[in-house]
Structure 1
Amino acid sequence: MYLYNISLIIENEQHEPFMQWLQNEWIENLPAGSKLLKMLDSPHQGQTYCVQLNFEYANDIANFQKQYLSSLQQHIEEHFMGKVFLFDSTMKYLEK
């Protein structure tokens, strides 16, 4: 089982318009079980959020990236270039 995390760092001036789009347009179309979290005590300036999804197989993450992540990256490039920063990470659950 894998946890896929997308972290978004948003400059304060762009916080409201970006979050409106993210919640009303992008997150609404994500697979069931997707979680949006706000990072507390972030070391970054601005606001930091994470979108987290669980996947059974690593290949499912690549499919998600093609279907969903690319549209998020494109929207950031077109409307929030230099104001919203994105990085993603994949983690594997360890079993005892």
Structure 2
Amino acid sequence: MLLYNVTSIIEDASADRWLQWMQDVHIPQVMATGMFVSHRLLKVLDSPNEGVTYCAQYVADSIEDYETYQQQFAPALQAEAAELFANQAVSFRTLMEYVA
């Protein structure tokens, strides 16, 4: 199993709107792709960055599911986020493998 982690740093003024959008729109869209079996959204409490930091985590059963997501779904979903929160949020992505 794999963990796809998306860490986002959002300006304070946009944080509430971003969080609502994530919960109501974005995460349901990601899960509707069928490429992930579960998800969670976490708030980073000790971030050294200005603004508010969140981690959206998605669990994939296989590298094939993750790659399908990246090829077929991620570009449009990431473009929507970039458009809605231009100059208000920055994200970086990490793929991890469960070892224990």
> What band does the TM-score fall into relative to the shorter chain?
0.7 to 0.9
Deviation string for 1:3-52 (max 9, x for gaps)? 11011110101112222211111112333521111111111111111111
Residues 1:62 and 2:72 aligned together: no
Consecutive unaligned residues of structure 2, counting only runs of 5 or more, are: 32-36
Relative to the length of structure 2, the TM-score reads 0.80
Correspondence for 1:14: 14
Query: Structure 1, residues 46-86: CA drift from partner, whole Å, max 9, x if none?
Result: 11111111122112112223454333321232221121101
1:75 aligns with: 80
Q: Which runs of 5+ in 1 are unaligned?
A: none
Q: TM-score, normalised by structure 1?
A: 0.83
Query: Would you say how many aligned residue pairs link Structure 1 and Structure 2?
Result: 95
The answer for the alignment partner of 1:42 in structure 2 is 47
How many percent identity over aligned positions? 35
Counterpart-to-counterpart distance in 2, 1:29 and 1:80: 17
Which residue identity is paired with 2:45?
L
Distance 2:29 2:86 in 1: 23
Structure 1 residue runs of 4 or more that deviate by more than 4 Å after TM superposition? none
